[in-house]
């Protein structure tokens, strides 16, 4: 069920709970509850989404271009196979974000908390993490290019640490990740 306010300067087409293929262009969406909402293959363009909240939102294979997501509180959001271009996610908390097989280009995660985000098989290009906590991230089979993790105030990698080629991390993050990297390389550390 979708509830909240939508203001738009372009076209908006949504349903109540099922909005597959919906298009939101030049919209300001504020305070919407997206529990169980199905927006598979939706296109969200040139929009600002503020205060979204919900569990189990399905945005699989959606396109988000020139979008700001502000102060979201989401759990189990499904964005697998999605395309995110020029997207800023600022503030809020997103648990169990599924970005498997997604393509992220020119994306910034800023001041937010990401708990167990799944980037498995995703392509990340020019993605930056600024003042955010990234907990138990999975990068299995991901491809990274110009990904800046240095600004993450907390960086935990649960899987795919060997796929971090193409990312830049700080010296302190390297020390924190040393046990995971050693394990990935089969290095035994003693003493």
Nearest C-alpha neighbor of 71 from the set 48, 100, 55: 48
pLDDT band with cut points at 50, 70 and 90 for residue 140: very high
* Count of beta carbons in the 10 Å neighbourhood of residue 123: 16
Q: Could you tell me where the beta strands, DSSP code E, fall in the chain?
A: 3-8, 12-13, 23-25, 27-33, 43-50, 53-55, 63-75, 83-95, 103-110, 113-115, 123-130, 133-138, 143-145, 147-151, 154-159, 167-168
pLDDT of residue 191: 83
Asked whether residue 30 carries a pLDDT value surpassing 50, the answer given is yes
> Is residue 8 a contact partner of residue 29, using CB atoms and an 8 Å limit?
no
pLDDT of residue 18: 61
Calculate mean pLDDT across residues 87-105: 98
Calculate mean pLDDT across residues 129-149: 98
What predicted TM-score, i.e. pTM, was given to this entire model?
0.89
Q: Cα–Cα distance between 69 and 52 in angstroms, integer?
A: 8
Question: Tens digits of per-residue pLDDT, 114-126?
Answer: 999 999 999 999 9
Give φ, ψ of 177 to 5 degrees.
-85, -5
* Count of beta carbons in the 10 Å neighbourhood of residue 188: 6
pLDDT band with cut points at 50, 70 and 90 for residue 16: very low
């Amino acid at each position: 069920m979708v509830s909240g306010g939508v203001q738009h300067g372009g076209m908006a087409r949504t349903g109540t709970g099922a909005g597959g293929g919906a298009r939101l262009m030049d919209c300001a969406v504020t305070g919407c509850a997206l529990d169980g909402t199905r927006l598979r293959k939706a296109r969200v363009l040139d929009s600002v989404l503020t205060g979204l909240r919900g569990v189990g939102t399905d945005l699989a294979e959606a396109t988000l271009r020139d979008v700001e997501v502000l102060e979201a509180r989401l759990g189990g959001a499904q964005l697998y196979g999605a395309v995110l271009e020029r997207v800023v996610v600022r503030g809020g908390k997103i648990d169990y974000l599924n970005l498997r097989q997604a393509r992220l280009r020119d994306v910034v995660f800023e001041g937010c908390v990401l708990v167990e985000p799944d980037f498995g098989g995703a392509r990340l290009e020019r993605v930056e993490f600024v003042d955010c906590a990234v907990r138990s991230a999975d990068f299995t089979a991901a491809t990274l290019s110009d990904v800046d993790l240095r600004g993450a105030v907390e960086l935990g990698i649960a899987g795919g640490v060997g796929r971090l080629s193409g990312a830049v991390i700080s010296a302190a993050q390297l020390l924190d990740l040393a046990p995971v990297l050693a394990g990935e390389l089969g290095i035994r550390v003693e003493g």
